[in-house]
Amino acid sequence: MAGIYLHIPFCDTKCIYCDFYSITNHSHKNEFLSALKDEILSKSEMLKDRKFNSIFLGGGTPSLLSYAELNDLFAHLFKFYNISNDSEITIEANPGTLNNTKLKEIINLPVNRISFGVQSFIDEELKFLTRIHTANEARESIKNAMNAGFENVNLDLIFALPGQSIDNWKYNLDEALKLGTKHISAYSLIFEKGTALYTMRKKGEVNNADIELEQQMYEYTMEFLEFNGYMQYEISNYAKPGYECKHNLKYWAMEEYIAFGPSASSFIGNKRWTNVKNLTKYIQNIKTGKPVYDFIETIDKDTAVTEHIMLGLRSKGIYFDDFKQRHNIDFDKKYSKSIQTLIENSWAESDNEKLKLTRKGYAVCDEIVASLF
């Protein structure tokens, strides 16, 4: 089954590290919501034969929308799309934006999963990242969400901040563990071009973390979370058994997903496209009936093979039968030398069913894909 993604671009502030399309001016929110519904309707005929079992509201900060606005969007989706009754439906939220009243409203929506952008439980680190919440507000938001009835909760953390010590990172993981969320995402800080953080580094105001320290933090994360019952099912994602993010798994398994909103990317059949990364142009194109995408490509066989290997290695592994069915290639035969190299270096494990990277392999996944495949 396929997935649905909605990109809600509004934020209270723009964090220095974020390269997702987001804006702090909310004055065109009503126009955007109307255009979003029109785009949803426009794709429904094309997708009438698809069934969907995941919906993900990302951004931006989708939790800034009111109950009425969110309810209207869900009603629109369920009216025009075949959505499974057991779908995973996620909303991203900033800690502090969901009080108890808002949580009680959201629990009455189809939403059954919340993902909090915590990033750190140390106030000084939050200030550096220009987050608008405090560590205590993050703890309270997650506790309140669980008390409101949300069982499936994720929290995001970022490591390898400039000047961050290994002890600070261990503290963040300890604090995350205490909250007992079913899912934890842990990402290393990336200096994306176009962000304020990238400019700060260019000016010499900040520097990347030491590469060996970053590696130490990552290795500790994998070991610590596995020891405490979290399964690593992707390079940066860890879950209690049965709580892997179904929607994100679609990206890594090359399953279909349709995405709506500015900058949102879709993958249907052998086509991939990305919407315009500008709210005004997005709204205008919808109103005038012009194509809303500014990039589209057809995925040829070679690209599909390469992406299958890359995405499979960074997640649950490459399943030989699935690879054969999709590409008519015996993976274990065609890449036997590469597989042997991976196993000899303890970078991967293989059985009759699949090839999967070890923790050691995860740490050098990009290099493995580039050099061996």
Tens of pLDDT, residue by residue over 117-152, are 999 999 999 999 999 999 999 999 999 999 999 999
Residues paired with residue 57 on neighbouring β-strands, in sequence order? 6, 91
Q: Which CATH architecture has domain 2-252?
A: Alpha-Beta Horseshoe (3.80)
Every domain of the chain with CATH number 3.80.30.20 lies at: 2-252
| Cα dihedral: 231, 153, 5, 195 (round 10) | -90
Every domain of the chain with CATH number 1.10.10.920 lies at: 301-372
The stretch 207-223 carries a mean pLDDT of 96
Tens-place pLDDT, residues 321-340: 999 999 999 999 999 999 99
Question: Do residues 142 and 179 lie in contact, with contact meaning Cβ atoms separated by under 8 Å?
Answer: yes
What pLDDT, on a 0 to 100 scale, did the predictor assign at position 99?
A: 87
What distance in Å separates the CA atoms of residue 364 and residue 314, rounded to the nearest whole number?
A: 10
The CATH code of domain 301-372 reads 1.10.10.920
Burial 35-64 (b: 16+ CB within 10 A, else e): bbbbbbeebbeebeebebbbbbbbbbbbbb
**pTM value?**
0.95
What pLDDT, on a 0 to 100 scale, did the predictor assign at position 352?
A: 86
Please check the confidence at residue 306 and state whether its pLDDT lies above 90: yes
